[in-house]
Amino acid sequence: MADEDTGDERSEVEHAVVDLAASRPELTVNKRGARFHLGDTASAADHPKNVTPKDSEQRTALLLRSYTGKVYNDNDKQVIRSLITELSLQTGGEYEVFLFLHVKDDTDIWASEEAYRHVIETQVPKEFWDITVLWNTEKVKRAYPKLTPKALLVHNGQFSPVQIFMQEHREFDFVWNWELDSRVIGHHYDILTKLAEFSRKQPRKGLWERNERFYIPSFHGDYDTEFRETVEQIHAGDLIWGAPHAPAVQAIGPKPPLPTPEKDRYKWGVGEEADLITLSPMFNPINSNWILRNQVWGYRSREMAWGDLPRRASIITQLRASRRLMDIMHVENLRGNHLASEMVAPTVALVHGLKAVYAPMPVLFDLPWDGAQLARWFNGGPKGDSGSFGSAMGWGQEGRFQGSTWYFRAVPPQRMYNNWMGYEDTGIGGPQWEAEHGRACLPALILHPIKEVKQTEAGYSSDSKLPY
């Protein structure tokens, strides 16, 4: 049976409803107070460094983005439970999962504690009530009065409420912005740990240039040797080294230890936590014909013409950001400076000289591409990068991602996940198919987009069309 008010559906196999508040990491943190640094009182204007005391471990919040009106089916609840189990509970406080709920209507959730709680109890399954944090556009508007109404819209300002969250929760060093319609095949903690480890070991020399490219092993060779050397040869004498010149910005990131990158032997940045980790390349949107390339508010200077702000973008917005990056983005918004959601974190990291890493993850395609074809099709920019002229992210060009497992519109993620769950989709999966071929298996992947996972009917085929 289903409770239509909360979207709390029951499957045939009844699950015991666990009060997750009773097992939230705060209890473990309190018992092991010396293990974690529980926050500081430094304001964002002080731009605290991306460090915690040496005797404390760093903590990460994962904000699972949801919204009022969402009906949580069995698979949604299973995924949320797995996130909590594999991150919050397994680590005893290193991670903490929140359901970050966008209140889309005009309900005054700040009128009283009862009003706030009423929204939670009528919009969220009971087992997740006490991990839910609400936000709405009104709160963002109050926090950032200099932003224009268009910049305040959730699709343009997706990270503004995340910034506010990080101002209110100083106990966290990092935050994952996590899409509700993504799925991990594998163990969440293992995959997030690998992404962080990869990013931590990256040297800053040539990093922004590597970040601009889809890494294709069969074409580029070993990441830490052949790929790195090839990219630096292409950009010889033109590597980004520290913050680029941008008169509208007073960069606060660390200065390079040497005057030129040529003098560095891949030492600077190694062992440094990344302020930003993305799962797609950080491409140059200028001249890319990407639809949001010119969504820039503020960042004005007499010494810099509008549109000349150096910038980067990454699609999709599932990423990890440091408290330092969130603090700087917060201050930029206070000043009225803002960019499109896909641009804001990569661009702020770039112009402030922070460490940002595109961590390549496996992406599968439904066609037998070879490495050279993939490089030509997806790294079609002027120097073999993914941005600027020839970008695959340009208007009318994004159809080439339709057969991939990671983009904002793509067909394989839903089909593959349905098959993995045992459901028929596009002639594969389902009881009869599995009786002959066995269960569908997948390697470790992160898939997007995936909508409304449920038992399919015979002959079902999923689709995911571009909005043009």
Sequence spans of domains, the chain: 2-8+17-45+52-196, 203-378, 414-468
* Bridge partners, residue 183, by sequence: 447
pLDDT tens track for 174-189:
999 999 999 999 999 9
Asked if 207 and 274 touch (Cβ cutoff 8 Å), the reply is no
Confidence of residue 147 (pLDDT cuts 50, 70, 90): very high
Q: What is the rounded CA–CA span in Å between residue 364 and residue 443?
A: 10
**196-251 pLDDT, tens per residue?**
999 999 999 999 999 999 999 999 999 999 999 999 999 999 999 999 999 999 99
Distances (CA, A) of 327 to 54, 225, 324, 330, 371: 21, 34, 5, 5, 40
Give CA torsion, residues 280, 286, 291, 292, to 10 deg: 80
The two tokens of residue 63 are 């904000």
Q: How far is CA 136 from CA 149, 162, 293, in A?
A: 14, 11, 26
Q: Report DSSP letters for 350-402, one per residue.
A: HHTT--EEE------BSS---HHHHHHHHS-STTS-SSSTT-TTSTTTGGGGT
pLDDT score of 5:
42
Round to whole Å and give the CA distance between 449 and 132: 23
The torsion defined by the Cα of 354, 149, 135 and 192, in degrees rounded to 10, comes to -30
Q: Which two tokens stand for residue 122?
A: 């009528």
Band of residue 20 on the pLDDT scale cut at 50, 70, 90? low
The 10 Å Cβ neighbour count of residue 12 is 5
Q: Tell me the C-alpha distance between 416 and 421, whole Å.
A: 9
Residue with tokens 């067909």: 411
Check the CA dihedral 206-211-212-216 and report its sign. Answer: positive
Q: Which H helix or E strand runs over 197?
A: helix 188-200
pLDDT band at 12 (very low <50, low <70, confident <90, very high): very low
Here the tokens at position 405 are: 């497992």
Q: Over the stretch 73-93, which tens digit does the pLDDT of each residue have?
A: 999 999 999 999 999 999 999
Q: What is the pTM of this model?
A: 0.92
Q: What is the pLDDT of residues 357-397, one digit of tens each?
A: 999 999 999 999 999 999 999 999 999 999 999 999 999 99
